[in-house]
Structure 1
Amino acid sequence: MTALIVPGLPEARAANSPHAPAVSDARVSLTNRDFGELVRRASGHLADAGVARGDVVGLLLSNRVELVVAVFAAWRLGASVTPVNPALATPEVEFQTSDAGVRVLIVEPDADVAVRVPKISCDRLVEPRQGNEPDAVIVHGAEVALLIYTAGTTGRPKGVMTTHANIDAMTATFVEHFSFTETDHSLLVLPLFHANGVVLGTLSPLRAGGQATILGRFKPEAFFPAVEAHRPTYFSAVPAIYAMLTALPADVRPDTSSLRFGICGAAPMPADLIGRFERRFGVPIVEGYGLSETTTASAINPVDGLRKPGTVGPPLPGQRIRIVDADLRDVPSGQSGEVLIAGDVVMAGYLNRLEATADTIVDGWLRTGDIGRFDDDGYLQLVDRVKDMIIRGGENIYPKEIEAVIYSDTGVFEAAVIGRPHDILGEVPVAYLSFREGATTTVAHLDALLAAQLASVKRPVDVIVVDDVPKNPVGKIDKPTLRAMDAKTTAKA
């Protein structure tokens, strides 16, 4: 059995290079020795709260050092962690913590979180405690390390079971692909409730002996001052962030000489946007592709070598990608079909969702629901999405989750949520609906209902009442026709 590298990083780094930097944010900078000590201390507090092997620790935190400490502290006890988006509405937090079986929830200082699970302030987690710290357990590759929740097509998010073996394989691949060393320094601008922020932005540089600096909420005007202050070697972002950075005033001419590259994922990035960013700021952008279900990434353009804007690069080492037809048969080279992925980074499955897991992982191959094709150089180009997922500024949004909330109002007869193109965010959700005859429900009431039940990123920017939501010949709501109708209406506005 191959020994796992990532869970033991705090102690290994403290022993090998105690004074080297590990993780920092706007409030605190931790050396390897500091980091190892806080992880041990936090594991003691978690053990005092009853956390043991096989339990789940919830992390309802903004981007901060204590979140990273809590991840390793839970792993030290053999527990797994589920990061919770702090922007979620209370019912959404309640669902995730209940579905994941969270034993204890780590929250912000003085947070007032009305969910039925024991809570510990992140400040308390790193306070000195009496008694010896618990010994670290030996975790196994098949044990779940992370439960990343991804929106579900049935209206309920699903917990992606990412194992320790998945994380070890993914971080090893990133270290190899990007030639990470102890000199590499990640500037983390993506949220730590996403696999990208945790695995690529934090765990990978730590595995290589490097460091991570965690930024708070992204602000375009504050990004390049942070680059100049911290001198990172790379960062990972979504197209919306790159669009906002290229929209900065022309007199913004930062020193970006420390940056080796930037990474773009989560949604397709227009090739002209890549070119504008590279020409203006002198930083090469490598575009990649992956899912939470594949622990972060499965294909990425190389830093050195042929970079092809408009593609997401070739498959990463250790991963296999097939393009198949509706019967899961390989299509001829150059033709489009569904993207299937296999390798050591493919999730163990969806938590408590045996049927969804069986539908998604077929004979060891993960069905992505994305349509793509390989070009002559073996670079993957994404063509379309099988599902109706909306990607808003890098956030995956599934219409059925929003529709389920709308349908909870009995005055609604039919509802359909689609994505409307947006210059900065890529897409934004828009709801079309019809009311039942005699209903007294109003759009204002629905807006309030959505605000109470959903995170702001999921709320439709427009709720449009129509006499009849368009349907196809078999009576199903026709979203392609709806998108065309919305595009025509928007163009006239």
Structure 2
Amino acid sequence: MQHVVEIPEVRATWNPSGPCIADDREQLDNQTFVKRVRTAAAVLYANGVREGDVVAVVLSNRLEFVVILFAAWRLGAAVSPVKPDSTVEEVRYQVEDCRAKVVVTEGGREGATLDVTEVAGPGAEVAGPESAQVDPSAAALIIYTSGTTGQPKGVVLDHANIAAMCAMLVGALALNDTDHSLLILPLFHVNGIVVSVLSPLLAGGRATIAGRFSASAFFGIVERVRPTYFSGVPAIYAMLVAQPESSAPDTSSLRRAICGAAPMPAELIARFETRFGVPIVEGYGLSEGTCASTLNPPGGPRKPGTVGRPLPGQTVAIMDADGRVVPAGTSGEVVIRGANVMRGYLGRPEATAHTVVDGWLHTGDVGYFDPDGYLVLVDRIKDMIIRGGENIYPKEIENVLHAHPAVLEAAVVGAPDPVLGEVPVAHVVTMPGARVDAADLVEHCRRTLARAKVPVSIELTEALPRNPVGKIDKRKLRALVADAIVTTT
């Protein structure tokens, strides 16, 4: 296929009755899918959507999202997905910021231009305009960042970005027409769109969209749907590992599981693979890089504790504070160059110029390459703790905590200290049924870490705060510990 936007038409010609996309409500073959796309394009066109416009989509995970995505692209318009549980103010901000022509929602939501059933529901095929000639440099997706530092920014990904990313993933994961992805991540995030929908459809495979993720129901869906892979974040794998030991699901259809969004502790990878017999392929990337930049090779060797090697077609390097590339083994900021790097932040030239310098996407992540060329992430630059002038990376402490058999998840942040400036504080979720207290975990840290890196307090908690994509929300954790610290040292 020449272009991702041609997927519906090409698939309908190639195999009209072959399965294409499904969700909890219905299943569409290729022929039905392209009819839905054409009809949705006609409805959007009738509501004023033209080439260069933006369609805002406020939907939960459902196949109509994908129908509307291709319908907008058919008209030469871009799509900006909005987190479905956003407040009215949050939706208004994004809609106004991206200057959306129409807003498609579900269930009569306030601020809607169109209800999803009007645009992409089942019904008679409606004739619409011919498919637009898509300019590779035209905006395809406008994905909003989680906004942990100020207002969310719109990441503009053009059609060339999307096409390059999908081609890279299809090649790296060796996807083909026998692949069937199970989407469990939210469709308002680029990982859900690119890894679990566009790439398998481009490869001739199929996709099933699951609703809201439930750890207890997940393997029942796997047994019923029989996918070949799914993509998740570390929190999802932690929840699955925490399921009762008595459950022994049939995972034989799964060739691999993919993990991204945040580094996954090697111990958690081992627990999942040992218990469920499914290999985890860990990767790394950003929305600004259209999703993925490195990947542990599915054919091996996979190296837990790393996020793999650069994807073919991308250059990943490590730079020092002066913008010089440093040799392998030296830590610095991870920078990325390739056809997948975003066009920029919508309407924010200064932020764009700060993030993309001479073609290099500056990630804000600290990392280094090991002797085999695998990227090891050290931490986020902004998460670094400075204790009495000493730089401490929370991830090092978290890795030590994860090595304790009673620890399921751990998150470390800096807490204010009147003398030292900052001190490390840990929040830990234990394995179900595990018996361990904070003092045990502090002692465990003391055996491995230098004194300055040992957490001054460890709080055992039932859950860690998360952002909408499932990453641990360290900003909320820092707010929790800012007021008072109970020291255990």
What TM-score do the two structures reach when normalised by structure 2? 0.80
The 5-angstrom pairing of residues 220-231 of structure 1 reads 220-231=215-226
- Provide, for residues 147-195 of structure 1, a one-character-per-residue CA deviation record: whole Å limited to 9, x for no partner: 0000346411000000100010000011101111110000000000000
Q: Does 1:24 align with 2:22?
A: yes
Q: 2:120 aligns with which of 113, 120, 126?
A: 126
Correspondences of 1:181-330 after superposition (within 5 Å): 181-330=176-325
| Equivalent residue number for residue 88 of structure 1 | 86
The answer for unaligned runs of 5 or more in structure 1 is: 392-398, 400-415, 426-453, 470-484
Corresponding position of 1:112: 109
Indicate how the Cα distance of structure 1 residues 463 and 310 shifts in structure 2: closer, same or farther if over 3 A, else same. Answer: closer
**Which residue of the partner structure matches residue 477 of structure 1?**
none
Change (3 A) 1:257 1:131: closer
Any conservation in 1 of the 2:19–2:28 contact (CA below 8 Å)? yes
Q: Is the 8 A contact 2:254 2:278 kept in 1?
A: yes
CA distance in 2 between counterparts of 1:266 and 1:52 reads: 34
In 1, the alpha carbon distance for the partners of 2:117 and 2:425 equals 40
Q: Structure 2: which amino acid aligns with 1:88?
A: S
Q: CA deviation at 1:423?
A: 3.0
Q: Quick one: distance in 2 between partners of 1:351 and 1:230?
A: 38
Q: Which amino acid aligns with 1:202?
A: V
Cα separation, 1, equivalents of 2:481 and 2:272: 40
Unaligned stretches of 5+ in structure 2? Answer: 385-393, 396-412, 414-421, 432-466
> 1:331: which partner in 2?
326
Q: Does 1:381 align with 2:376?
A: yes
Distance between the aligned counterparts of 1:263 and 1:424, measured in 2? 24
Deviation at 1:461, TM superposition (A): 7.0
The residue matched to 1:266 in structure 2 has which SS? Answer: coil
Deviation string, structure 1 residues 389-437 (Cα, Å, up to 9, x no partner): 999xxxxxxx9xxxxxxxxxxxxxxxx9x99644389xxxxxxxxxxxx
CA offset digits 1:204-245 (Å, max 9, x no partner): 000000000000000001100111001100000000000000
Choose from 356, 360, 365 the match for 1:365.
Answer: 360
CA–CA distance in structure 1, aligned partners of residues 182 and 35 of structure 2: 23
Alignment root-mean-square deviation, CA: 2.6
CA distance in 1, matches of 2:125, 2:276: 51
Conserved 8 A contact 2:39-2:125? no
Give the CA deviation at 1:91: 1.2
Provide closer, same or farther for how the CA distance between residues 424 and 177 of structure 1 changes in structure 2, counting only shifts above 3 A: farther
Cα deviation for residue 462 of structure 1 reads: 9.0
Q: Which runs of 4+ in 1 moved over 2 A?
A: 126-132, 151-154, 387-391, 418-425, 454-466
Residue in 2 that maps onto 1:423: 429
What residue identity is the alignment partner of 2:269? I
Q: 1:419 to 1:39 in 2, by over 3 A?
A: farther
Give yes or no for the alignment of 1:68 onto 2:66: yes
Q: Measure, in 2, the Cα distance between the counterparts of 1:149 and 1:200.
A: 18
Query: Does structure 2 conserve the Cα–Cα contact (< 8 Å) formed by 1:290 and 1:297?
Result: yes
Per-residue deviation at 1:93? Answer: 1.0
TM-score by length of 1: 0.80
Q: Percent identity?
A: 53
